[in-house]
Amino acid sequence: MINPHGADSLTPLYVTDDVRRSELEQMATDIPSVLITSGAAASAVMLASGYFTPLTGYMNIAEAISVASDMKLSNGLFWPVPILNLIQQQQLTDDVKNADKIALLDPNVEGNPPIAIMEVSAIEELTEIQKNLIIEKTFGTSDPEHPGVPAFADVGNHVLSGSIEVLNYSYFTQDFPETFRTAVEIREDIEARGWETVVAFQTRNPMHRAHEELCKIAQKEVNADGVLIHMLLGKLKPGDIPAAVRDASIRAMVKHYFPDNTVSITGYGFDMLYAGPREALLHAVFRQNCGASHFIVGRDHAGAGEFYGPFDAQIIFDDIPSDALEIEIFRGDWTVWCHKCNEIVMMRDCPHDNDDYFTISGTKQREILAAGEHLPPEIARPEVAEILMEFYQTEVN
């Protein structure tokens, strides 16, 4: 199986020892605490799960700027996106300033229980120049209309850095018990299935026929034993389809249209960044940590609106050192229904032209579903369309 990123084995930060975890939970009641952001809590879950191997906690300013500017940790290892714990000025009490350890409280669980204990290495304040640099490099824009920019810009300028010990996986194990899996568990599952070559597919959306076929094309072309469908379960921008609906639709598609033991349906606990090319690189890092040998990067991967070109997330892989990652990238093209081929095709493999292709926009798809009508069979499997139509009828309308 492919090695984890920058390590011989995964370094999950979840405290597995019951006695130690109980001690830390008690400690959390006695030491200063800080209510962290949803993004920082999600990063704690990713660190707990081994997805962010070999990181041991949140970055300081120097490390974050190195990552933003050069995509390198201080030790020279490739890393594409800063992992920061930002708080507001008013949260920086004297107790917090003078603490060696801080309890990090989860904003996404009722009662805000501690999600981790942090060994405080530094408390620093970002200058506006530094913050703008990180935003520009990470998102490729500082436009507040980009959904990721305000999520970073508006959460405070004080950086709490240091290693963490994680006490739980936030709401993900309770809300998604059949889907949420750590990188450790995914590696164990791949090994148990006897898979050697695994192609991973990222999604924050339900999978239509084009996504389904892209997975099948990639599996065939790289001769993969199986496909890891790995869905984001964290926070999304308004208008995106909730994780539970997406989960149900993906499971319906796999049940009816993939052979047995060729797909692993899993999810991970992270908030979407919508950082396009940089997020595609991060996705590749933690899919390598999952044990996948190949990763599908399709059109407008991790994008939002018109902020990125349709294939910018593929092009960026040409700009990093050849030894930055061990995982290999499968580059997806425009994937459409071709009337002459009578099947879903990638345009680059099809001899026909645009007049032979059938597509409808995402806006039109939502209008059809909201009207209580099924999506065309060229676009969505009927089992998937049924789930999506019910959601739009009951929740959106």
Q: Could you list the mean pLDDT of each consecutive 10-residue stretch along the chain, which spans 397 residues?
A: 96 98 97 98 98 98 98 97 97 95 98 98 97 97 94 93 98 96 98 97 92 95 97 90 92 96 97 96 98 96 91 97 97 91 91 90 80 88 92 73
| CB atoms closer than 10 angstroms to residue 395 | 10
Q: Which two tokens stand for residue 67?
A: 């990552």
Whether 286 contacts 57, CB under 8 Å? no
Q: In whole angstroms, how large is the CA radius of gyration of the chain?
A: 21
Instruction: Kindly report the pTM of this predicted structure.
Output: 0.95
pLDDT of residue 260: 92
Domains of the chain: residue spans and CATH: 18-173 (3.10.400.10), 179-396 (3.40.50.620)
User: Residues 317-341: pLDDT tens digits?
Assistant: 999 999 999 999 999 988 899 999 9
pLDDT of residue 8: 95
User: Residues 5-19: pLDDT tens digits?
Assistant: 999 999 999 999 999
Distances (CA, A) of 334 to 146, 214, 340, 345: 24, 10, 17, 8
- Annotated catalytic residue within 204, 287, 299, 381: 204
* Cα(136)–Cα(143) distance, integer angstroms: 9
Q: At what angle do helices 183-193 and 276-290 cross, to 10 degrees?
A: 50
The H or E element spanning position 358 is: strand 357-358
Furthest CA-CA distance within the chain = 70
Report residue 192 CA to chain centroid gap: 24
Catalytic residue at 205? yes
- Annotated catalytic residue within 193, 205, 331, 366: 205
* Cα(291)–Cα(189) distance, integer angstroms: 10
Q: Cα torsion for 188, 199, 320, 126, to the nearest 10°?
A: -60
pLDDT of residue 394: 79
User: Residues 72-111: pLDDT tens digits?
Assistant: 999 999 999 999 999 999 999 999 999 999 999 999 999 9
